[in-house]
C-alpha cells in the first residue's frame, strides 16, 4: 500500500475515534457541544494522534490506553486552534478551508467551545484508567499531557508569541526558538512521549523521543513560516501572508528564506536519525516525518 493510502486510513481511524468521543448528549449545553464538534471534526492532518500511535509501534508494547490519549491530544490541539484564531489573538477567518469557530458561532461561544474541548480532553484521557492494567503508566502519560499543554509548554509559548506582537518586541533567535519549541513542538513532544510511555519505553528512550519530537516540531513550524510566504489559500485552506501583514517576526523574516529551508532540513535529519536508532524500525513513521517537514499545506 502506498504511503498516502496508509495515511488516509490512519486519518479516518482518528476521525472515527473523535466522532465516538464527541457522540454525547450535553443536555442544555448541546449548543456548545455543536460548536465543539464543528471545531474538532473539521478535517485535518490528525498529526498528533497518528504520531502517538506510530511511536508506540517502536516498542511493541500492549497499549490499550492509546485511543483515549489519541483523542485527548487532538481535542487539546483543536481547542488551541479555536483560541488562536480569535480576534484577540490572530483574528483568522478561515481554518482548513472552513470559516473559523468564532466566525460561525461568535466570540463568546468560540471561547467557551475551546474551554469545553480542553476540559473534555482531560475527561477522555482520565477514562484510560478504566482500560489499563498499569495505572502508573497512565499517570505518567497524563502528567506529560498536562505539562506539555500548559504554561511549561504550548500555553507558555503562545504567551510569549502574543506578548511580542502586542508590544512590538523584537524577537531574538532564543525567543523565536522558545516559541516554536513550546507553541508548536510541545504537543508533538507529548504525542511521541505518551506513545512511548504507554508502550513500555524506558525513561531514557522517552527522553530520546522528546528530543526527536522537539526537532520535528521546530522543523514543522519553520516550514509553516515558509508556507506563509510561498503557499496559497487553495493549498493551505487559510489566508497567506498574514504574518507579514501583521508585522509578525518569523524564522523567514529573521534569517531569510534560504536559511529557513536549510534549517528545516537539518532539524528533520536529526529527528530521523534518532528515530532510526531504535531497535524496532517504523518506516511509515519516518516517511510521515519527511512529509510533514516538506509539505505544501
Spell out the per-residue pLDDT of the chain, length 297, in tens: 589 999 999 999 999 999 999 999 999 999 999 999 999 999 999 999 999 999 999 999 889 999 999 999 999 999 999 999 999 999 999 988 899 999 999 999 999 999 999 999 999 999 999 999 999 999 999 999 999 999 999 999 999 999 988 877 778 889 999 999 999 999 999 999 999 999 999 999 999 999 999 999 999 999 999 998 886 544 445 455 455 555 578 999 999 999 999 999 999 999 999 999 999 999 999 999 999 888 887
Could you tell me where the DSSP H helices lie in 57-106? Answer: 66-85, 101-105
Per-residue pLDDT tens over the stretch 158-198: 999 999 888 777 788 899 999 999 999 999 999 999 999 99
Three-state DSSP string of 157-174: HHHHHHHHHHCCCCCCHH
* Nearest residue to 26 via CA among 107, 102, 123, 108: 123
275 CB neighbour count, 10 Å cutoff? 22
**What structural domains does the chain harbor?**
3-293 (1.10.600.10)
CA atoms of 2 and 17, how far apart (whole Å): 23
- Three cell numbers, residue 116: 469545553
* Nearest residue to 220 via CA among 252, 254, 184: 184
Q: What are the angstrom distances between the C-alpha of 102 and each of 35, 74, 105, 120, 297?
A: 9, 19, 5, 19, 23
Amino acid at each position: 500500500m502506498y504511503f498516502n493510502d496508509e495515511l488516509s486510513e490512519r486519518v479516518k481511524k482518528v476521525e472515527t475515534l473523535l466522532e465516538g468521543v464527541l457522540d454525547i448528549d450535553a443536555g442544555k449545553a448541546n449548543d456548545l457541544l455543536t460548536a465543539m464538534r464543528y471545531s474538532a471534526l473539521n478535517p485535518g492532518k490528525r498529526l498528533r494522534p497518528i504520531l502517538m500511535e506510530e511511536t508506540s509501534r517502536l516498542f511493541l508494547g500492549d497499549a490499550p490506553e492509546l485511543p483515549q490519549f489519541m483523542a485527548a491530544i487532538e481535542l487539546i490541539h483543536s481547542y488551541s486552534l479555536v483560541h488562536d484564531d480569535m480576534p484577540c489573538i490572530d483574528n483568522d477567518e478561515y481554518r482548513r478551508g472552513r470559516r473559523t469557530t468564532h466566525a460561525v458561532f461568535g466570540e463568546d461561544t468560540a471561547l467557551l467551545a475551546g474551554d469545553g474541548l480542553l476540559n473534555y480532553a482531560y475527561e477522555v484521557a482520565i477514562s484510560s484508567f478504566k482500560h489499563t492494567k498499569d495505572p502508573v503508566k497512565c499517570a505518567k502519560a497524563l502528567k506529560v499531557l498536562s505539562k506539555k499543554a500548559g504554561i511549561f509548554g504550548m500555553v507558555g509559548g503562545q504567551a510569549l508569541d502574543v506578548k511580542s506582537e502586542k508590544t512590538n518586541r523584537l524577537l531574538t533567535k532564543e525567543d523565536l526558538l522558545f516559541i516554536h519549541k513550546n507553541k508548536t513542538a510541545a504537543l508533538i513532544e507529548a504525542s511521541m512521549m505518551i506513545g512511548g510511555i504507554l508502550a513500555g519505553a524506558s525513561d531514557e528512550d522517552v527522553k530520546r523521543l522528546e528530543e526527536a519530537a522537539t526537532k520535528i516540531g521546530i522543523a514543522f513550524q519553520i516550514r509553516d513560516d515558509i508556507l506563509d510566504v510561498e503557499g496559497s489559500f487553495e493549498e493551505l485552506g487559510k489566508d497567506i501572508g498574514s504574518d507579514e501583514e501583521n508585522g509578525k517576526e518569523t524564522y523567514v523574516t529573521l534569517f531569510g528564506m534560504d536559511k529557513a529551508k536549510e534549517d528545516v532540513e537539518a532539524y528533520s535529519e536529526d529527528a530521523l536519525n534518532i528515530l532510526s536508532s531504535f531497535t524496532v524500525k517504523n518506516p511509515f513513521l519516518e516517511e510521515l516525518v519527511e512529509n510533514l517537514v516538506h509539505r505544501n499545506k
